[in-house]
Structure 1
């Protein structure tokens, strides 16, 4: 196996483990927050998710800027992974220590999220540093994200059946393993120290990054929507258990994961416009349709379809960030992408939960799906005018 391919696999494994740890908590979220001192209602679940993603939003830019400024990635991923492991571990111990006030839980979630986002974002940035084609490298990131989420949902559901805090213990072990695994990868960050302020000026210097950022935000919004509202909808409409809801999520994430790499490579050949714009439009229509079905079989089939469409657009969107950003700005550029993604995830369960609570699930699905279609329509002129979706130039080593 070539050096580039080996490092691509190792970095994808890091991303996979981080996402697996995160998603383990989702299927049994109601039982978990009840064990940690809240109720099983939708609002405590929303705040539990929101605390983590608020930390993602606040700290992801700092991790990227520090990485670019120091010209290092690996040490910061180790710090983030071990800090995340510590956060998950303390959360798991709170009920035994009789310290499970929900306010304390939310503070710990912020700390854990602040650490975890560093490991996640910088691992993707290290894939950006590799040769071999941006679409291929971001396809590897996408398949890791998809597999982590696909496997996290059913495994987390089964762990919850054993104990509501079992997913927290599993996440602790997984994040600690990431801290060790990433040390096997060569640090290829572009050399040259800059101030953190100079690194943070990346987005202002490169306004075209706003386009993949906008898509990333809306795409992650749908993920946040399904993590909270989707699970609640499946439980309410079809009377599913946490384990069964995890399987429903896996119906989306399995094709989403397995098709990421070939779809990313496809975008290297045909450009980004068709995968992003067309994929986003069809993806949004599919989400809206799921909220209208009345049988669980149809809902499951819909999840598979949107999983395929999500695989079409996700790696192309991340690859567009790499196309647009300069080499020395990659850490900050990907941090910005993940920042907007975290805002989107937060908006997904906040907006979706609010609409579903006030007006019902069908309208919530319609609004979230409609926003996907809208962003595709609004940005299409920019793709055509600026040539953002043109077939990219593949760097040396593309055969890897």
Structure 2
């Protein structure tokens, strides 16, 4: 048994570290890829389905499925953190997959747009439970030294699967039509995800308790007042508004998903209006999350070596630049370059924001802080759907893209001015890196 585990009495055979928990960590990477695939089945097809099969002409109405998804996922993220602390990680993960099972069938058989909205409420709840849980479980397993790398793997798997599925569904839609074939992938993902989560995934809550027992304070005294147990209300206030790093990460997460909601809901329509085929739209819809996904394999580890703050600020500014290029362009090659830049900027931000939450939040209430952060981050889908839809209806799609680009640049400035560097390598973390290597 690990000496620290023995001293704390947290359980026989429980150790922190990527190498020590490689099998479960890898399994959770696979599970999160399946979670991403459930989201990816909609990225290319659903905006076109609303326009072509259900006759939606107003942008706000067409984005209503993203609004429903964003509100459901954001709210579920908040409760997921508290439920993970109360009931354990695995029950929450399994519940999320059970809720996902009917979604692809509803998308296939939907006789009206209302069915699509209800399906996206279920998808949002499912994603809030499953994705939040895989994030927290990986943080539990690896300990403090490799959080950035862990989040890089987690988000790379999820958004890599979004990209591959978006590309595959674009091909299927062009070959066979918008329904039902593209959504057969979702049926397979749900079955595999539920089976693996029920039969093979193991509980990780004791790993968090082990880390809490050996938690080392920062030498500079930052966030000493956050040690120990906090109430749910205190966690919400600290993560949302009061603690500079946590609140800076929360607003950046919201704006990041605001522009992702724009990409999901309006980009396919923008590209179709320019005369691109469904296949080419599928390539563009896949390119952005593909670069985002693969890039996180590197950016998460980079943040462990170089720090979080400036990677986040620079990533937000790169996203703003990419959005401006999309608004200016009118051809496939330029849009492809912009999609790569947008994916690269998002890759710099996404795992690093999660790692920064893990840096600051005490293990005793980390799951709840992650839940609050993800409440704000995925609330960006809802804010983005409303903002982009209203601006697009009033001023056009290009104006909506410009508006989101400006907000993204401002968000990066907030991080630069308010956030402090959160990454801290105490003695315990240095020893863990050495043992992993």
Same fold (TM over 0.5): yes
Superposed CA deviations along residues 364-387 of structure 1, whole A, max 9, x for unmatched, are: 22211111110121232222xxx3
Residue 92 of structure 1 corresponds to which residue in structure 2?
Answer: 108
Offset at residue 91 of structure 1 (A):
4.1
Flag the 1:301–1:233 CA change in 2: closer, same or farther, 3 A: same
Residue 125 of structure 1 corresponds to which residue in structure 2?
Answer: 136
Flag the 1:336–1:177 CA change in 2: closer, same or farther, 3 A: same
Offset at residue 389 of structure 1 (A):
4.1
Q: 3-state SS of the aligned residue for 1:240?
A: coil
Residue 320 of structure 1 corresponds to which residue in structure 2?
Answer: 356
How do 1:258-337 and structure 2 match up within 5 A? 258-337=294-373
1:222 pairs, out of 248, 259, 281, with: 259
Flag the 1:356–1:395 CA change in 2: closer, same or farther, 3 A: farther
Find out whether 1:81 has 2:97 as its counterpart: yes
Cα distance in 1 between the residues matched to 2:348 and 2:122:
34
Cα distance in 2 between the residues matched to 1:216 and 1:137:
18
Structure 1: unaligned runs, 5 residues or longer:
95-99
Flag the 1:11–1:200 CA change in 2: closer, same or farther, 3 A: farther
1:170 pairs, out of 176, 185, 189, with: 185
Q: 3-state SS of the aligned residue for 1:130?
A: helix
Cα distance in 2 between the residues matched to 1:322 and 1:145:
19
Residue 254 of structure 1 corresponds to which residue in structure 2?
Answer: 290
Superposed CA deviations along residues 214-242 of structure 1, whole A, max 9, x for unmatched, are: 111111111101001111111112x1233
Aligned residues: 386
Offset at residue 159 of structure 1 (A):
2.8
Offset at residue 139 of structure 1 (A):
0.8
Offset at residue 140 of structure 1 (A):
1.0
Cα distance in 2 between the residues matched to 1:79 and 1:67:
11
Q: Is the 8 A contact 2:47 2:268 kept in 1?
A: no
Moved more, 343-352 or 221-230: 343-352
Residue 350 of structure 1 corresponds to which residue in structure 2?
Answer: 386
Offset at residue 43 of structure 1 (A):
4.1
Q: Is the 8 A contact 2:236 2:369 kept in 1?
A: yes
Residue 137 of structure 1 corresponds to which residue in structure 2?
Answer: 150
Cα distance in 2 between the residues matched to 1:230 and 1:368:
13
2:117 pairs, out of 101, 106, 112, with: 106
Cα distance in 1 between the residues matched to 2:102 and 2:232:
29
Cα distance in 1 between the residues matched to 2:183 and 2:370:
27
Flag the 1:101–1:250 CA change in 2: closer, same or farther, 3 A: closer
Cα distance in 2 between the residues matched to 1:69 and 1:200:
16
Q: Is the 8 A contact 1:231 1:245 kept in 2?
A: yes
Cα distance in 2 between the residues matched to 1:260 and 1:31:
29
Q: TM-score, normalised by structure 1?
A: 0.88
Q: 3-state SS of the aligned residue for 1:62?
A: helix
Structure 2: unaligned runs, 5 residues or longer:
1-17, 210-229
| Structure whose CA Rg is larger | 2
Q: Is the 8 A contact 2:312 2:349 kept in 1?
A: yes
Flag the 1:187–1:4 CA change in 2: closer, same or farther, 3 A: same
Superposed CA deviations along residues 291-347 of structure 1, whole A, max 9, x for unmatched, are: 102322111111112222221222111111111111122221222222112211122
Cα distance in 1 between the residues matched to 2:100 and 2:279:
25
Q: 3-state SS of the aligned residue for 1:136?
A: helix
Residue 66 of structure 2 corresponds to which residue in structure 1?
Answer: 49
Superposed CA deviations along residues 27-84 of structure 1, whole A, max 9, x for unmatched, are: 111453478x7324344431122222221123221122111122x1112111111211
Cα distance in 2 between the residues matched to 1:181 and 1:396:
33
Q: Is the 8 A contact 1:30 1:40 kept in 2?
A: no
RMSD of Structure 2 on Structure 1 (CA): 2.5
Residue 185 of structure 1 corresponds to which residue in structure 2?
Answer: 201
